[in-house]
Chains A and B, each alone.
Chain A
């Protein structure tokens, strides 16, 4: 198995799916000759030609709207929003059409498209390049909202997203893009959409997170273990919507103490839905109030302050210790 960065793993997923299925075409700004500003689509135009890797004019609505038409015609377009912060210019296409075409046509037509977008902070980027607005998409019926956390699951989830019969919004944590390498098998690997996973087992505390926050949460869990023998269970959602609540509600029943960690703003964020599910399905097992460690409800600050905005391992561990003392 080769060790790959997330960028390389995503590239592998695209390359293999394009090789297997001529319905898969890529479109976006700078995805062709330039290979994408993060190089996720590097080399694909050389391998598959301009016909399957479309460098589009600037225009996010154009990219999403055109992809909807392609999907209606039977293709499986994968479009790239250069940064998720620009995807709002395509939002009306996604909400008004991609998410509804199956429903509107009573299943006659569907929109099997993937909209990829790098999201999140931590790379000292410009304004509009660091936000985590997955809640907009998770809140929209008809969409699936997927966020991988590492190279291997990114590859497996992207393959599943491309093959999915419904529109998938696929947010890629750009802070993880080149942060580390992981073994990624050359042979095909998929992960089901709508399924979470336990990445660290434990019985004292449940930590629920996804995307770029999985690493700081694991670091915090390790710290809790080393400095106090606490065994935290860490759950990676992988798919934000439809939300798989089976593992985290079971875990909450076991530990009685739960925290949710994400870099998106707190109010009405994905954590709010997680907490609501816990209240509905595990309330009587809880021994302490559920804690949320999240981005603040402010405009994502420019990068000189982003380290204070983004949840980090020390903050997560501190909240976890408080949670363990409560109740």
Chain B
């Protein structure tokens, strides 16, 4: 029995199509309609400008803590753009632009980040799960949804997002393993943004890439430039087609960067250098896509300005709408709603208790 190298016969590919300067690899360039390219551009601008506005609102005390997404727009928008409407998206919590792409209103994002659980759900009622805060835990739900879709003989594909930090969680392993064993139609999209709060990617795994982890589970894996929306789209499109045709799950690692903080409660200067951040500014996903579209004559300086103005106006309107709506929201008794399909007696009693307290406070003219 000799000692030999085992040929696992599964390469891990990397993919980059649009470089930081906006030059495209013509051979790899996906054929997207002009309409889709411009929709994606507008969605990226919206994602970026909305993120900036949310940060301002948070600093002004008008919303609570939230996780910013700036710098990662290509990674999550490129991924969901490859889905059909009826496909499922199972998000983590740093995919705001993708949620909006799939129909979530800006108002809902604002209200949820301002502590109103009636807005924590997604709207409209589409095949999207709400944000999942416990890191990595949502990946298993994607596996179950994918399994159920196959059981129902439906062509549905499920795409789930997670970060580099999530790959350290046990649920990453269980989800990848279950998905591969049952060959469920799931696309695992890792937004490797290099930081899990204060810890760099190197503190999450010794692996050279996250994509190569796919090898151990017996599924294809690919590492893409996550700031290159064309590469993300192409890789995910391929993975979606594979899933839809019954060939099981794929891991797509999008290498990107969290340009700002983990959440607004965090100060990244405590753990990373300005130079690191500056280096990534030069790789901005939005700037390079803008150059690409200009080169394709789909965009002019004037269009860019107009798009930004339109987006800012939409955001302003959403902020006004949300703030107006929030004035009449927040009946405390609503906390008892939707605990169960039917309210059990002990909860009905507790609800009465709070209702009585509120009524008594009202009579005293206090604020409860």
On chain B, the residues within 8 Å of A67 by CB distance are: 144
B281 within 8 A of A: no
B216 within 8 A of A: no
On chain A, the residues within 8 Å of B92 by CB distance are: none
**In whole angstroms, how far apart are the Cα atoms of A68 and B178 in the complex?**
14
On chain A, the residues within 8 Å of B144 by CB distance are: 65-73, 77
On chain A, the residues within 8 Å of B130 by CB distance are: 104-105
**In whole angstroms, how far apart are the Cα atoms of A70 and B181 in the complex?**
16
B137 within 8 A of A: yes
On chain A, the residues within 8 Å of B138 by CB distance are: 97
**Quick check: B178 and A242 within 8 Å, CB to CB?**
no
Q: Which residues of B contact A (CB under 8 A)?
A: 90, 117-118, 120-122, 125, 129-130, 132-134, 137-149, 151-152, 170-171, 173-175, 177-178, 181-182, 337-341, 344-347
Q: Which of A70, A242, A244 contacts B147 (CB 8 A)?
A: A70
**Quick check: A105 and B174 within 8 Å, CB to CB?**
no
The distance from the CB of A51 to the nearest CB of chain B, in whole angstroms, is 7
Which among A55-63, A124-132, A216-224, A305-313 touches the partner chain?
A: A55-63
On chain B, the residues within 8 Å of A75 by CB distance are: 148, 151
The distance from the CB of A221 to the nearest CB of chain B, in whole angstroms, is 28
**In whole angstroms, how far apart are the Cα atoms of A222 and B299 in the complex?**
88
The distance from the CB of B237 to the nearest CB of chain A, in whole angstroms, is 23
**Quick check: A25 and B143 within 8 Å, CB to CB?**
no
Q: A65-B143, A75-B151, A104-B120 given as contacts; is B339 within 8 A of A59 (CB)?
A: no
**Quick check: A104 and B340 within 8 Å, CB to CB?**
no
On chain B, the residues within 8 Å of A68 by CB distance are: 140-141, 144
**In whole angstroms, how far apart are the Cα atoms of A165 and B139 in the complex?**
23
The distance from the CB of A95 to the nearest CB of chain B, in whole angstroms, is 9
Which partner residue on chain A sits nearest B133 by CB separation? Answer: A96
The distance from the CB of A313 to the nearest CB of chain B, in whole angstroms, is 31
A184 within 8 A of B: no
Of the A-B pairs whose beta carbons lie under 8 Å apart in the complex, a sample of 28, sorted by A's number, is: A57-B177, A57-B181, A61-B140, A62-B140, A64-B140, A68-B141, A69-B146, A72-B144, A75-B148, A96-B133, A97-B137, A97-B141, A103-B337, A103-B338, A104-B130, A105-B120, A105-B338, A106-B121, A106-B337, A107-B337, A109-B129, A110-B341, A142-B339, A194-B344, A194-B345, A242-B340, A242-B344, A244-B345
**In whole angstroms, how far apart are the Cα atoms of A43 and B125 in the complex?**
39
Which partner residue on chain A sits nearest B344 by CB separation? Answer: A242
Q: A59-B174, A242-B344 given as contacts; is B134 within 8 A of A69 (CB)?
A: no
**Quick check: B148 and A65 within 8 Å, CB to CB?**
no
On chain A, the residues within 8 Å of B133 by CB distance are: 96
**Quick check: A166 and B178 within 8 Å, CB to CB?**
no
Between A65, A102, A106, the greatest number of chain B beta carbons within 10 A of the residue's beta carbon is seen for: A65
A314 within 8 A of B: no
**Quick check: A65 and B137 within 8 Å, CB to CB?**
yes
**Quick check: A61 and B338 within 8 Å, CB to CB?**
no
Q: A72-B129, A102-B340, A105-B130 are in contact. List 19 more A-B contacts (CB 8 A).
A: A57-B177, A57-B178, A61-B137, A61-B140, A61-B171, A62-B177, A66-B141, A66-B143, A66-B147, A68-B144, A69-B90, A102-B339, A103-B339, A105-B121, A106-B338, A109-B129, A142-B340, A194-B344, A242-B347
Q: A65-B141, A66-B178, A73-B148 given as contacts; is B341 within 8 A of A102 (CB)?
A: yes
**Quick check: A51 and B151 within 8 Å, CB to CB?**
yes
Which partner residue on chain A sits nearest B178 by CB separation? Answer: A62
